Amino acid sequence: MWKRDAKLTKGLIMAGIELYAPRTERHRRTWTWAAIVIGIVFTFLAQIVALLPFIIQTTIAVQKNPALAKTITQPEIDPGLIIGMTAPLIALILLWVWLFERRGPAAIGFNSKSFLRVARGYLIGCLFLASVVGGLWAMGVYEVEGPGVFLKPSLAALAPILFYALAFLIQGSSEETLSRGWLMGVITSRHGVVWGVIGNAVLFGAMHLLNVKASPAMFAGCFNVALFGIFISLYAVKERSIWGVCGWHGAWNWLLGVGFGLEVSGLKLKVTPLIVDLKDAAGAPWWLSGGEWGPEASVVSTFVLGAGIAWLIWKGALKPKESYPAPVSAEKTAV
């Protein structure tokens, strides 16, 4: 009994735990604080590069006509911009892992059974989101603002919805590559699983602080985003892969913003929803509806995510494992 408890304690607290693939003497480990700084820099660098054409065009226009400075608005969020702002982040992380750490994709969770895990994660993500929105609708928090494309499907209406599905899958995968794949792996390797889970989740929540103006809904939303980070981290730890959480994250964002027309962490999309267009019912309290942040700031999301965390811990997500998933072929050549 003592040996079992000691082994569990080592897996939770002590350093030297690799989540996704074994580490060899050839591999390097990025220092924890350096990884946090690099992750933030890579995130903003990817976004700046995508927004550079808009920034240049706006700057030139304002120089020609200074009065335009008062009318400048943010660029419209479409699938192309979402992909442009997030896909480079995946490339930057993979390049850092390959060139500096001398490791392959499997080391940050891109290992075997990719299609199966993505599909399963996507389905579970849709079910989780549907349970939140469905529960809030049943409580009278939301009301129907308009019908969805599903009732009268057409190629013109379905095309942007499918593009958004791809865009959010890439966007979700970029955040999972950074947070659950690389950052959690680095922290866990040096400080243990608990610190890896909590550390990446707190940073993940903090990186959403600027999504909307400061308000109770914003702070509740960031808290739930961090809670989501803990849940999805445990999912990745239990599966020893990030394929599943990439699918989960993409499904949640897509169904929330495109399926039901609700805010995604404060972001409102200009697209006709697939299922139904919902809006806050008159008089609905923000702590139920999520206010300007959307359902992710609702106490219902807090409950659902909390229940998911408890279930994953009960199913042994934090128990140390001796084996690793099979690597993808790229990993064999990279190490």
Question: Which pLDDT value is given to residue 281?
Answer: 94
Q: What is the pLDDT of residues 177-200, one digit of tens each?
A: 999 999 999 999 999 999 999 999
105 token code pair: 């994709």
Rounded alpha-carbon distances, angstroms, from residue 77 to 81, 221, 271, 285: 6, 20, 10, 28
Q: For tokens 């609905």, what's the residue?
A: 284
Q: What is the pLDDT of residues 76-98, one digit of tens each?
A: 789 999 999 999 999 999 999 99
96 token code pair: 């850092």
Nearest partner of 93 among 151, 45, 145, 25, judged by Cα: 45
Q: What is the pLDDT of residues 248-299, one digit of tens each?
A: 999 999 999 999 999 999 999 989 999 999 999 999 999 999 999 999 999 9
**Average pLDDT, rounded, for the chain:** 89
pLDDT, average across residues 206-221: 92
- 3-state secondary structure labels for all residues of the chain: CHHHHHHHHHHHCCCCCCCCCCCCCCCCCCCHHHHHHHHHHHHHHHHHHHHHHHHHHHHHHHHHCHHHHHHCCCCCCCHHHHHHHHHHHHHHHHHHHHHCCCCCHHHHCCECCHHHHHHHHHHHHHHHHHHHHHHHHHCCCEEEEEECHHHCCCHHHHHHHHHHHHHHHHHHHHHHHHHHHHHHHHHHHHHCHHHHHHHHHHHHHHCCCCCCCCCHHHHHHHHHHHHHHHHHHHHHHHHCCCHHHHHHHHHHHHHHHHHCCCCECCECCCCCCCCEEEEECCCCCHHHHCHHHCHHHCHHHHHHHHHHHHHHHHCCCCCCCCCCCCECHHHHHHC
Question: Which pLDDT value is given to residue 197?
Answer: 96
Radius of gyration of the chain (CA): 21
The pTM assigned to this predicted structure is 0.88
- pLDDT score of 3 more than 80: no
Distance CA 93, CA 89 (A): 6
- Residue boundaries of the structural domains of the chain: 27-334
- pLDDT score of 64 more than 80: no
Instruction: Classify burial at 65, counting beta carbons within 10 Å of its beta carbon; exposed 0-12, middle 13-18, buried 19 or more.
Output: exposed
User: Between residues 322 and 83, which one has the greater pLDDT?
Assistant: 83
Amino acid at 319: K
Q: pLDDT band at 331, cuts 50/70/90?
A: very low
pLDDT above 90 coverage of the chain, percent: 68
Instruction: Report the 10 Å Cβ neighbour count for 197.
Output: 26
Spacing of C-alpha 187 from chain mean position: 18
- pLDDT score of 120 more than 70: yes
Instruction: Report the 10 Å Cβ neighbour count for 226.
Output: 21
Question: Which pLDDT value is given to residue 23?
Answer: 84
